[in-house]
Amino acid sequence: MVTTYLEAIRQGIWEEMERDPNVFLIGEDLGVYGGAFKVTKGMLDRFGDKRVVDTPISESAIVGAAIGASFMGMRPVAEMQFADFISCGFDQIVNFAAKCRYRWNAPVPIVIRAPNGGGIHGGPYHSQNNEAWFVHTPGLKVVQPSTAYDAKGLIKSAIRDNDPVIFFEHKALYRSVKDDVPGSDYTVPIGKAKVFREGKDLSVITYGAMVHASNEAADELAKEGISMEIVDLRTLLPIDEETILTSVKKTSKALVLHEATLTGGVGGEIAARITEKAFEWLDGPVIRLAAPDTPVPYSQPLEHAFLPNKAKILEKARWLARY
């Protein structure tokens, strides 16, 4: 059935709540309001206020309560209304949830949903891509799907996982991306990338909304005789190094792309691994494309200039193809 990215996430959560009575939701405006983006619409009526828990505006309390509940055998799905606000619960996530398995082998089966990304003119406090903070934290798993199929399969895997999972959902994809999503139960494995589009002349390594921008660019490049392969990471921690290196060894050229700002981003880690482990196969430099090192602008034309897009991908890809 053709389903939106948003509805796929909603279906995945709903199915897991039906399957496991220990799964519950906690966050701001999840119940009566149905969530800021309506992902949890109808869940209060179906599951009741013991399993759809509205909270005060306190991300630290939301995460702390989720961690405590997980110690008691529950499987909480906590929502940060916008990924930007996750910083208010940062200490709970990186200094407690991420370290419990290491310190005394205690599972922390929580999912923290984090709607992220630009393209909606939300300004500097509602548009960030802050995944790199968490990719640098051992003990966490970090996921960001780009398709409706993967969104449903990965949210189900995240809920079933015994480690804390940060689940990034790109807001611009919620209603713009649709694909065929099975009604039957299925999961997508955490830690496994996929080749979104086969190609032979260069590889673009990316995730989230940039998968679709890359695909638009690849259609244009194909008219010029340039075949671009797209690797969709899907999971950012742990990184699927094997799939990345296999693609780069095949095409001999790599463009690493993300919407987040350039310095300290996930792309630097991927570029380093390619350079260290596939250098002999490279026929050109590993290129990075990301947003500039500024806050996300509120102004529509400035935001457009700030974000990576099809035109910028084409410029980098053509240069690399000619190299």
Catalytic pick among 121, 126, 136, 212 = 126
Bridge partners, residue 75, by sequence: 23
Residue-level length of the chain: 323
305 three-class SS: helix
**172, two tokens:** 């611009």
- How many alpha carbons fall within 13 Å on the CB side of residue 36? 14
Q: Which two tokens stand for residue 257?
A: 């792309």
49 exposure class (CB count in 10 Å sphere: 0-12, 13-18, 19+): exposed
CA distance 72 to 66: 10
**Alpha carbon separation from 79 to 6, 27, 76, 209 (Å, rounded):** 14, 5, 10, 20
Buried-exposed string 35-46: b where 16+ CB fall within 10 A, e elsewhere? bbbebbeebbee
Structural contact between residues 252 and 284, judged by C-beta atoms closer than 8 angstroms = yes
Tell me which residue has tokens 């983006």: 37
Active site residue 136: no
Of 108, 26, 104, whose CA–CA distance to 68 is shortest? Answer: 108
42 is written with which tokens? Answer: 């109808």
* Strand pairing class (228-232; 194-197): antiparallel
Q: How is residue 37 written in tokens?
A: 């983006």
- As annotated, the active-site residues are 126
